[in-house]
Amino acid sequence: MSVEPVSCTIKSPVALQIGDTVSDLSRPGVYITDITLAEPVNIQEISFKNYYTAYLTVRVQQREDGSVKWVTCLRNHCLMANPHAEAGSHDYFSIYRQQDTEWDVPAWLSTLTPVETSLDLKGLPDPETVSSSIQQMWALTEIMQASQNAASIGRFDVDGSYDVKLLSYM
């Protein structure tokens, strides 16, 4: 499937601020840029060059069976890691249709016991004490393993008889 550019009209950015535009002199933090397409089309990709925008939200107006609704495709997508620094301020960006802004939730997170379920601990050892000891045992094993990774076991020198310059037939 080839990707072709679509002609569109890009309006100049409008500041989003509360109050009267004329009397309120403070500079706003949010600007809205309207992009109008000549005809409805399935957008696959949006490419642009950034100019000091830190976060981007994309909303799309969808037309379904005569009704019109606004859908948020992308919310607060980070373009600049630090809004007050230069990184990313002039970069080129491409946003794709399948953009996944959610980070992968590790599998083990879902196995955590929910706080609400109360377990019957009558007659069982105190989990806090047991957990504390096990955590320390785990940490000690980690210390040992970490020291092993750092050290490289070199060749053993067999008591001076293995000297390159001096062959010993002992």
Q: Give residues in contact with another protein (CB under 8 A).
A: 106, 108-109, 111-113, 115, 119-131, 133-138, 140-141, 143-145, 147-148, 151-154, 156-160, 163
Q: Which is nearer to another protein, 25 or 112 (CB)?
A: 112
Q: Which is nearer to another protein, 41 or 130 (CB)?
A: 130
Q: Which residues pair with 8 in a beta bridge?
A: 37
Question: Shortest approach of another protein to residue 122 CB, angstroms?
Answer: 5
Q: How far apart are CA 130 and CA 121, in angstroms?
A: 13
Q: How far apart are CA 77 and CA 54, in angstroms?
A: 8
Q: Which is nearer to another protein, 22 or 115 (CB)?
A: 115
Question: Shortest approach of another protein to residue 139 CB, angstroms?
Answer: 9
Q: Which is nearer to another protein, 42 or 111 (CB)?
A: 111
Q: Are 47 and 58 in contact, with CB atoms under 8 Å apart?
A: no
Question: Shortest approach of another protein to residue 129 CB, angstroms?
Answer: 4
Q: Are 62 and 41 in contact, with CB atoms under 8 Å apart?
A: no
Neighbours of 136 (CB within 10 A): 10
Question: Shortest approach of another protein to residue 117 CB, angstroms?
Answer: 9
Give the E-state strand segments of 29-115 in sequence order.
31-32, 35-37, 45-49, 55-64, 67-78, 92-96
